[in-house]
């Protein structure tokens, strides 16, 4: 068969790339998203700077899957860019950081703390995000201590990566 005939065909998964079913979580053991805390109950952020709509999965202190429904009337779209509204990449990073903060603050050890950005490494933007889309935010916390931590996150739209980055954060007291 001519290899060019396969161009554009979906790639079949290599069995070595597929997850081991024994390592996947049991869906019956996952929390019901309706039972998860609301981002506004965990974060100090408020509109117009709250970029997490809901939590989908949460392992406090370890990982989170969240979503941000991007409103078509968000004020930043009028200037970024007129005639072609595009979600700024820095807001994708901020939404990942807010999702990470939800995972951190859901851990009773860190409740009442204020995680602040300490740095961003290896940030990459892979896809344009436009008004009306939903950004799926997946963050893994890799290190967490009393002073701060480190994690990595990826944002997706319809299964395509739009942004990925490694993030550092430090804790500040809420009464500053």
Assigned domain for 157 exists: yes
Cβ-based neighbours of 123, under 8 Å, separated by 6 or more: 89, 93, 163, 164, 165
Q: What's the pLDDT at 30?
A: 52
Assigned domain for 144 exists: yes
For the chain, the domain total comes to 1
Assigned domain for 1 exists: no
> Which candidate in 45, 62, 80, 110 is catalytic?
80
CATH code, 90:
3.10.129.10
Q: What's the pLDDT at 162?
A: 98
Clarify whether 110 is annotated catalytic.
no
Assigned domain for 147 exists: yes
Question: Which tens digits make up the pLDDT trace of 43-65?
Answer: 999 999 999 999 999 999 999 99
Assigned domain for 5 exists: no
138 forms bridges with which residues in the sheet? 65, 154
Q: What's the pLDDT at 52?
A: 98
38 half-sphere exposure, CB direction, 13 A CA radius: 6
Q: What's the pLDDT at 18?
A: 54
Dist CA 171 CA 15 (whole Å): 42
Low-confidence ranges of the chain (pLDDT < 50): 1-13, 27-28
The Cβ of residue 166 has, within 10 Å, a number of other Cβ atoms equal to 14
Dist CA 32 CA 58 (whole Å): 10
Assigned domain for 32 exists: no
Taking CA atoms, 113 is separated from 37, 109, 155, in Å, by: 17, 9, 25
Q: What's the pLDDT at 33?
A: 64
Print the domain residue range for 120.
39-173
Q: What's the pLDDT at 17?
A: 57
Q: What's the pLDDT at 4?
A: 46
The Cβ of residue 25 has, within 10 Å, a number of other Cβ atoms equal to 9
Q: What's the pLDDT at 11?
A: 46
Assigned domain for 109 exists: yes
Q: What's the pLDDT at 32?
A: 65
DSSP H or E stretch at residue 163: strand 160-173
Assigned domain for 95 exists: yes
């Amino acid at each position: 068969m001519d290899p060019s005939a396969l161009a554009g065909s979906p790639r079949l998964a290599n069995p070595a790339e597929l997850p081991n079913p024994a390592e996947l979580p049991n869906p019956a053991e996952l929390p019901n998203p309706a039972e998860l805390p609301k981002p506004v109950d965990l974060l100090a952020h408020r509109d117009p700077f709250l970029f997490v709509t809901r939590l989908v999965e949460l392992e406090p202190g370890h990982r989170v899957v969240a979503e941000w429904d991007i409103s078509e009337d968000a004020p930043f779209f009028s200037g970024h860019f007129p005639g072609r509204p595009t979600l700024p990449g820095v807001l994708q990073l901020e939404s990942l950081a807010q999702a990470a903060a939800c995972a951190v603050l859901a851990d009773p050890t860190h409740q009442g703390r204020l995680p602040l950005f300490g740095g961003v490494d290896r940030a990459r933007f892979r896809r344009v995000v436009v008004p009306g889309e939903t950004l799926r935010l997946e963050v893994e916390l890799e290190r967490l201590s009393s002073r701060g931590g480190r994690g990595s996150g990826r944002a997706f739209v319809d299964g395509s990566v739009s942004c990925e980055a490694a993030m550092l954060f430090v804790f500040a007291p809420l009464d500053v």
